[in-house]
Amino acid sequence: MTWKEKHQKIQEQKLLVVGAGGIGCELLKNLAATGFRKVHVIDLDTIDISNLNRQFLFRKEHVSCSKAEVATRVVKQFCPAIDLTYDHDSIFEEKFNIDFFKSFDFVMNALDNRKARNHVNRMCHAARRPLIESGSAGYFGQVSVIIREKTECYECVEKPAQQKTFPGCTIRNTPSEHIHCTVWAKHVFNQLFGEVDIDDDVSPDMKAEDGENGDQNGEKAPDSETEEPAPIGTRQWAEGVDFDPQQVFDKLFQLDIEYLCKMEHLWKQRKQPTPIAYSTALETEPTPLSYQNALKNDTSVWTLSTCAQVFADCVKQLREQIRAQPDLRLSFEKDEPTIMAFVAAVANIRATIFSIGTKSMFEIKAMAGNIIPAIAATNAIVAGMMVTEAIKLVHGEHEKARNAFIRNQPNPRGKIFADEPPAPPNPKCYVCSETREVFIYVNPTQMTVSGLCEKVLKSELNMLDPDVMDNASSRIIISSDGDTDDLLKKKLSELAIEDGAILSCDDFQQDMVLKLFIRRQNDLKGDEFKILREETDGEKEKEEDKRKRKPDGEEDVEPEVKRPKIVDQVEVCAE
């Protein structure tokens, strides 16, 4: 094949890119420059001001606009020949079904969360389309090629469950897990009392009252040429009100949330947050715990009123501490009681606003870890490696495909890059193997149907809308149509689902069917469970997964597979 024929084949390929953030921006630029001419990009997120120093397709006037839309428009400006289309939507929408995935030659992931990665992996498997997976975290990065029946899929190797870094726009605007609120609370501490970092800003962009910045085409309003005063930073504003606890509380949890609510595009697919004023929070309980008493109850979940009281007490103490520092700064120390109590109170108030379950100070302290910053150079390298693998797929050179890894320092041979042939499919994988069997230990007298659905099938096994049937009785116990909602509160034992029961689980959207084998373990409480990938006679103590799953999905051990470091794209400031 001549080089012209190869180039022509590249132009004829139809690609799907999922994600238009840090890696996505670099990838779209590379695809256009390489000669790909038929590309469709999907991204639900909008542009945050913290994205601008890493995601080069976006400018200040694009803040609050759709990432997918702006990226499409900007790429077309420097490459008019490309047929680049977009969807500002969630990849989980039903319209992105198997037929949709079949309309592309292959798919390229530039995502920042595991749930979406799992879903795209399953859709590509069902549609028999190759997938190029990617990720970055600081100086680490990786690219993986996934081809049905030839390589392992994204879920063949179990990943660590606890994600430690998260997209900045999720932290600031649309938290969905308590860890997002905990990270935001640490940012609040730094903005008020620590070293100020623009990437850790906790307030929405206040320039546009309607939550938008210009029209949807990124054009400025007629009067936008008038020079506006520079916005006041959170620290400067707080100093202006002498760190008054009530005013700081109302700004963070009422005024800023009211502004977020005006961004209607954020709440089309999400529940809108509820602003909370300081006076309202205190009124929710007659006698909230003081800071000192709350510290004695660090394993209990504080009420909203107690969180507000602890917040006020901590702000007063931290105000005095910062004034005693020569550089007027405090450093975050999770073992310092006042700092940790402040972070716990802020995180729980934030969680309440976004209808997220609250946690104890002890649990929040365990979650508060270091934040890995996004590095634009890593994203650029990852995107380049993705296109290299894409060209191999275009020309059918599957045997040349490589999984590539970026290290944070050279190996003994002086290289920061490592590559290896993709591993074959894992015969124990419940996604791409022929058996698709999962063994689970539960206490049938305590595990509810709701817990089985939400915590096991949806949260752990990443199914979207499962239908579940008890094979012994042929009874439907979980229906995606809601026909079995009256059974959700029942214990499994009440439905005669005991040790040895086999449940057939079918997710129509993902075209995925698996068998769930129930095993009894009486010391498990409530919706706790222990999940196994495969069970072999006489070797139950040597199972692939020995973790005892708590309702919040925490894990205690790392997977046993040894290979180059695999990371998800977990940009704190780039997404």
- pLDDT above 70 for 251: yes
3-class DSSP state of 324: coil
DSSP letter for 529, please.
B
The residue whose two tokens read 């300081």 is 278
Is 573 labeled as ligand-binding? no
168-219+233-367 and 437-533: same fold? no
- 223 within 8 A of 207, measured Cβ to Cβ: no
* Residue bearing the bigger pLDDT, 370 or 71: 71
- pLDDT above 90 for 405: yes
- pLDDT above 60 for 292: yes
- pLDDT above 50 for 314: yes
Question: Residues in the chain, how many?
Answer: 575
Is 51 labeled as ligand-binding? yes
Is 432 labeled as ligand-binding? yes
Looking at CATH, the fold of the domain delimited by 3-162+375-420 is given as: Rossmann fold (3.40.50)
Q: What is the token pair recorded at 452? A: 């089985």
* Residue bearing the bigger pLDDT, 388 or 430: 388
pLDDT at 448: 94
* Residue bearing the bigger pLDDT, 544 or 384: 384
pLDDT at 369: 57
Let me know if 25 is a catalytic residue: no
- 29 within 8 A of 57, measured Cβ to Cβ: yes
Is 113 labeled as ligand-binding? yes
Looking at CATH, the fold of the domain delimited by 168-219+233-367 is given as: Arc Repressor Mutant, subunit A (1.10.10)
pLDDT at 200: 63
Strands of the sheet containing 530-532, edge to edge, are: 475-478, 466-470, 502-507, 512-520, 437-442, 530-532
Is 408 labeled as ligand-binding? no
Is 568 labeled as ligand-binding? no
User: Strands 403-406 and 437-442: what pairing?
Assistant: unpaired
Q: What's the first-to-final CA gap in the chain, in angstroms? A: 40
- Top mean pLDDT of 169-178, 263-272, 401-410, 566-575 is at 401-410
- pLDDT above 80 for 556: no
Question: Quick one: average pLDDT of 370-394?
Answer: 88
3-class DSSP state of 548: coil
What secondary structure, in 3-state letters, does 392-446 show? HHHCCCHHHCCEEEECCCCCCCCCCEEEECCCCCCCCCCCCCCCCEEEEEECCCC
- pLDDT above 70 for 213: no
Identify the band that residue 368 occupies on the pLDDT scale cut at 50, 70 and 90: confident
Which residue(s) pair with 131 in the sheet? 107, 146
Reference 107, options 17, 26, 39; nearest CA is 17
Report the distance separating Cα 491 and Cα 227, nearest Å. 64
> Helices 67-78 and 22-34, interaxial angle, to 10°?
30
pLDDT at 371: 53
pLDDT at 519: 94
Is 547 labeled as ligand-binding? no
Of 16-25, 287-296, 465-474, which range is least confident?
287-296
Q: One of 25, 169, 181, 307 is an active-site residue; which one?
A: 169
Question: Quick one: average pLDDT of 182-197?
Answer: 88
Question: Quick one: average pLDDT of 296-308?
Answer: 90
Question: Quick one: average pLDDT of 123-152?
Answer: 94
**What tens digit of pLDDT does each residue of 480-537 get?**
888 899 999 999 999 999 999 999 999 988 888 999 999 999 988 888 899 875 554 4
Residue 11 carries which side chain, given as an amino acid letter? Q
* Domain positions in the chain: 3-162+375-420, 168-219+233-367, 437-533
Q: Return the percentage of the chain with pLDDT > 70, whole number.
A: 84
Identify the band that residue 203 occupies on the pLDDT scale cut at 50, 70 and 90: low
Q: Tell me the pTM.
A: 0.64
Of 144-158, 207-221, 318-332, 361-375, which range is least confident?
207-221
DSSP string, 143-181: EEEE-TTTS--TTTSPPPS------HHHHHT---SHHHH
If you average pLDDT over every residue of the chain, what do you get? 84
Class of 437-533 in CATH: alpha beta
Is 244 labeled as ligand-binding? no
pLDDT at 124: 96
**What tens digit of pLDDT does each residue of 4-52 get?**
888 999 999 999 999 999 999 999 999 999 999 999 999 999 998 778 8
Is 112 labeled as ligand-binding? yes
- pLDDT above 50 for 558: no
Is 91 labeled as ligand-binding? yes
**What tens digit of pLDDT does each residue of 78-93 get?**
999 999 999 999 999 9
- pLDDT above 60 for 404: yes
Q: What is the token pair recorded at 3? A: 């080089």
pLDDT at 231: 56
Question: Quick one: average pLDDT of 552-561?
Answer: 36
